[in-house]
Amino acid sequence: MSEQQRTPAPVPDVLRVHGFSALEPGPKLIVLGGVHGDETCGTAGIERTLAELDSGALALVRGQLTMVPVANPLARSLMRREGERNLNRLFQPTRAGEQPADYESRITDLLCPLLDAHDVLLDLHSFQSAGEAFAMIGPRDNSGTLEPFARAFEEGQLALHLGTSRVVEGWLDIYAAGLAQRAGGKPADESEIAFGKGTNEYMRSRGGYGVTLECGQHRDPAAPEVAHRAIHAALRLLGMIAPDPHAQPQAASDRHLQPPAAAPALLRLVSVIDRDSEEDQFVREWATFDPVARGEPIGVRADGSVLAAERDGFIVFPNSAALPGTEWFYFAVASERDLRRPLA
């Protein structure tokens, strides 16, 4: 091994940001890749879109497009999920007068003003276990304290057009419920909930909206394609590029709001189940979106008791290696919401 190979790579100290502004005003879309360093599909999808814009194969006709191919350069240089910590948690600018606590806080301080300058966020990720791509959206319109929101229909429209067969709603609600559960029913305080807030939650808190697209398994060769297609779909939906010439001709007025032929299944997260002990074991290897029927065994606790499904639903984000006291899996049910229509 040469001397050079033994020297640790320097900590990357530049965030690369690509901006395109059409002369015609319009929506402002920001696309992030590599918020988690080992998730490379978003970077690939962005690089391909950049090349298309540079070559003229793709033309921005109105609005502003900003793309950040690697949102966490330290995590990417390590090819790990995190650099010093998860960039997609505690996503808020450092308070005035305070010093950023770590590398990710310095990155967040650069990303927050960028997000502030846009209306729409598309955050491109991939996941560990096998499975199909899916999109994640936030709460329904509400004026509550946890995550007040007024753009659920627009956000749902974006999710609807990204080309996945499933969309998942309701993350922060269930995250907060999980915190309360761990505290014996005591509601989580603001700083605990702030920890659960990532890029999309920040975007919503600033008056915008955002969708997380999980493009597939980390090494799925199709994931970069999913990411690339999603960037195009978002641009087309927002009227920022010319309509797809292969699409069915439609009335000009609703060209950008025509839902895909087959609407994705919408699942609503309803609970999070913690792993209490190292001896808690799943009854089988679960994959995200595996359906379970009411009463079906999911896992066995250390004391031998069987953990069964309380209702018909789906296993989401199972983690057989979860540390005791942390999320073992989430449980979702089919949602009654229809993304194609505004909620009454």
**Binding stretches for Zn ion (CB under 5 A):** 36, 39, 125
Output 38 or 276, the one with its CB closest to Zn ion.
Answer: 38
Nearest approach, Cβ of 325 to Zn ion (angstroms)?
A: 22
Output 36 or 76, the one with its CB closest to Zn ion.
Answer: 36
Nearest approach, Cβ of 73 to Zn ion (angstroms)?
A: 15
Dist. CA 30–CA 14, nearest whole Å: 18
Encoding tokens for residue 113? 């003003």
Q: How many CB atoms lie within 10 A of CB 227?
A: 31
* Chain centroid to CA 15: 20
Adjacent-strand bridge partners of 329: 273
Nearest approach, Cβ of 84 to Zn ion (angstroms)?
A: 16
Output 153 or 195, the one with its CB closest to Zn ion.
Answer: 195
Dist. CA 69–CA 129, nearest whole Å: 23
Encoding tokens for residue 325? 């006291």
Nearest approach, Cβ of 80 to Zn ion (angstroms)?
A: 12
Dist. CA 264–CA 95, nearest whole Å: 40
CB-based closest residue to Zn ion: 125
Nearest approach, Cβ of 39 to Zn ion (angstroms)?
A: 5
Output 234 or 238, the one with its CB closest to Zn ion.
Answer: 234
Nearest approach, Cβ of 86 to Zn ion (angstroms)?
A: 9
Output 125 or 268, the one with its CB closest to Zn ion.
Answer: 125
Extract the runs of DSSP E, i.e. beta strands, from 92-181. Answer: 120-127, 134-137, 166-169
Nearest approach, Cβ of 272 to Zn ion (angstroms)?
A: 18
Dist. CA 177–CA 182, nearest whole Å: 9
Output 230 or 298, the one with its CB closest to Zn ion.
Answer: 230
Q: Can you state the angle between helices 223-237 and 41-55, rounded to 10 degrees?
A: 50
Q: For 188, which DSSP code?
A: P
Output 60 or 269, the one with its CB closest to Zn ion.
Answer: 269
Q: Can you state the angle between helices 152-160 and 223-237, rounded to 10 degrees?
A: 130
Nearest approach, Cβ of 212 to Zn ion (angstroms)?
A: 8
Nearest approach, Cβ of 126 to Zn ion (angstroms)?
A: 7
b/e burial code for range 238-270 (CB count within 10 A of at least 16 → b): bbbbeeeeeeeeeeeeeeeeeeeeeebebbbbb
Relative to beta strand 28-33, strand 120-127 is parallel
Dist. CA 120–CA 31, nearest whole Å: 9
Output 39 or 201, the one with its CB closest to Zn ion.
Answer: 39
Output 36 or 228, the one with its CB closest to Zn ion.
Answer: 36
Q: How many CB atoms lie within 10 A of CB 47?
A: 18
